[in-house]
Amino acid sequence: MRFNVLGALLTTIILLLTLLVGSSVTYTTSPKGYGYVELKVKWMVHSDPSPSADYANAVCGKDEYIYVIGVDTSVDVGQFRVEKRLKSSGELVKVWVFNPSGSWDELHDCIIVGNTLYAVGRSGASGIFAWAIVTLDLELNMLNYTVEDISVSRDVAESLTSDGEYLYITGSDSLPGVGDTQWRVEKRRLDDLTLVKSYTSNPTRYQDDALSIYVNPVTGELWVFGWENVGGWPFWRIEILSRDLELIRVVKPGIQGFGYSIEFDEDGNAYIDGPVIAKFDKHGNIVKTASITADLLLYSGYFLYAFDLKEVDGVFRHFVHVLDRDLNVIHRMVLDANMSVPASIYARYNAVFDPGNIFVAGSHGGRGDKMWTVYSISVLERIVEVITQTVTETLVGTTTTTIEVVETRTITETFTITEVRSETVTLPPATYTITETLTLREPVGGSVFRVWYLVVAVILFILGVSVGWWLRRAVKS
């Protein structure tokens, strides 16, 4: 009996050493991601400075504050309005208003660079409209105000962005002729708003408007988005510029309608809203569209939030769709279901995403009287990746074992990986099929102790005992 056990142990040790020392592993991975999102309105506040139409147009933020910009009509005409509010509660901290023209003045978009808030819009200084640019410190003290009367007719600054060195502004200005407007882009210094360079583009002899400008974080190029007049109808147009305002390419995706915002993902893909949501690669080639209308987009790092007006039970409501990067809808929600008055437009130029929170604004009210509405939306994102791996192991002196591995990982939490294997190990003179489930507390990718070695060891031990018993009988005979 002692001979049997010793023989079995010796055989098992030799075979295990062969498996452990002589094996090589190759992983082939094909990831596919999906996710789950929970949304909840944390707080909603209103601001109604006048009995007429007041609109919030954009939200920007820094540290514990958000800054909501737009127009109020408390002086019988439109005036610039900026509200500073606490992110934690929506409490109003301070208000800044300014009516430089005595006519209609309105702020459209804002951005914070360092400790300065930059905002652009339009001013009635010329009796029609002129470009308006204003800078404030974060206590809402005005630092600079520039009005640019480019033409004798309608000139409007719509949107702005920055690369940290310069300010880039886009909008439209008027040309001689009835209703002929062209795209305009300006590059300005951050410190004093000095004009460095300008660029214009006039796609048609009719009204053409540039509405948004963004820096692609991957290519560093400027994407200017708007519309051109085709047979009396607006059609999407994208002009991609260098940061020296040199034209690189023009994109005409053939989509009819208006749109306002562009969001980029980590690969430089662009997402644009309007009558559809469209995805473009970093070169401007269209990848996919989704039949979802939106006034405002916000990208969080994995999910795309699309804000729009929807009619629910006969009343317009503020609505949000949550999409993945393939434009699949994974969640939807009404934000203002308990409001007694209908929703109006979103602040379509900008919103703020903090980890775990979205800050977005819009308007509510009936015909004639509109009030600002500001939301804080708590966001719980669960990003899950399903990864299928084919693991090929070559065992010295034996055959090749192919193992199909399926693992599930919850990325936003501590890695917990469930790995299911179904494998066939061929060892003469028998074939063993082993299926097992492993739960690992670390990401797959390094060398992980294989439980199936223990199973093989048990089988080999039994074989060793059998061989020893056969040899003992052979010796006795």
Mean of pLDDT values over 199-225: 95
The total domain count for the chain is: 2
Q: Are residues 402 and 340 in the same domain?
A: no
Residue keyed to tokens 């920007």 = 60
**426 and 281, same domain (yes or no):** no
Segment among 11-15, 274-278, 459-463 with least mean pLDDT: 11-15
- Tell me what pLDDT residue 7 has: 52
Confidence bin at 425 (pLDDT 50/70/90)? very low
The mean pLDDT of 109-118, rounded to a whole number, is 97
Q: Is the pLDDT of residue 405 over 60?
A: no
2-16, 309-323, 356-370: the lowest-pLDDT one? 2-16
> Is residue 13 included in any domain, yes or no?
yes
Considering the domain boundaries, does residue 390 fall inside one?
no
**pTM (two decimals):** 0.75
Res 353 pLDDT > 60: yes
Residue 163 within any structural domain of the chain: yes
Same domain, 323 and 407: no
Q: What is the 3-state secondary structure (H, E, C) of the chain?
A: CHHHHHHHHHHHHHHHHHHHHHCEEEEEEEEEEEEEEEEEEEEEEEECCCCCECEEEEEEEECCEEEEEEEECCCCCCEEEEEEEECCCCCEEEEEEECCCCCCEEEEEEEEECCEEEEEEEECCCCCEEEEEEEEECCCCEEEEEEECCCCCECEEEEEEECCCEEEEEEEEECCCCCCEEEEEEEEECCCCCEEEEEEECCCCCECEEEEEEECCCCCCEEEEEEEEECCEEEEEEEEECCCCCEEEEECCCCECCCCCEEECCCCCEEECCCCEEEECCCCCEEEEECCCCCEEEECCCCEEEEEEEEECCEEEEEEEEECCCCCEEEEEECCCCCCCCEEEECCCECEEECCEEEEEEEECCCCCEEEEEEEEEEEEEEEEEEEEEEEEECCCCCEEEEEEEEEEECCCCCCEEEEEEEEEEECCEEEEEEEEEEECCCECECCCCCHHHHHHHHHHHHHHHHHHHHHHHHHC
Q: Is residue 108 part of a domain?
A: yes
Domain boundary among 358, 383, 408: 383
- The CATH number of whichever domain residue 136 belongs to comes to 2.130.10.10
Residue 259 lies in a domain: yes
Same domain flag for 331 and 351: yes
Whether residue 158 is predicted with pLDDT greater than 50 in this model: the reply is yes
The pLDDT confidence band at residue 462, using thresholds 50, 70 and 90, is: confident
Whether 129 has a pLDDT exceeding 90, the answer reads no
State whether 173 and 195 are in the same domain. Answer: yes
Task: Look at residue 388 and tell me if it is in a domain.
Answer: no
Average pLDDT score, the chain: 80
Q: What is the pLDDT of residue 386?
A: 45
Q: Are 379 and 406 in a shared domain?
A: no
The proportion of the chain whose per-residue pLDDT surpasses 70, expressed as a percent, equals: 72
- Residues 406 and 314 both lie in one domain: no
**Residue 30 maps to a domain:** no
**Which of residues 363, 383, 403 is at a domain's end?**
383
Last residue of a domain, one of 362, 383, 404: 383
User: Is the pLDDT score of 447 beyond 50?
Assistant: no
Looking at the structure, tell me whether residues 354 and 432 fall in a common domain. Answer: no
The confidence band for 44, taking pLDDT boundaries of 50, 70 and 90, is very high
Structure tokens at 474: 């052979």
The percent of residues above 90 in pLDDT, for the chain, comes to 58
Residues 400, 251, single domain; the answer is: no
- 280 has pLDDT over 70: yes
Are residues 355 and 418 both part of a single domain?
A: no
pLDDT classification of 36: cutoffs 50, 70, 90: confident
Q: Give me the pLDDT at residue 469, please.
A: 64
Out of 14-18, 41-45, 305-309, 356-360, least confident range: 14-18
Q: Which domain holds residue 13?
A: 2-23+395-476
Do 409 and 335 lie in a common domain?
no
What local confidence, expressed as pLDDT, does residue 203 receive?
94
**Residue 389 maps to a domain:** no
Domain match, 155 and 224 both: yes
Q: Which residue has the higher pLDDT, 391 or 262?
A: 262
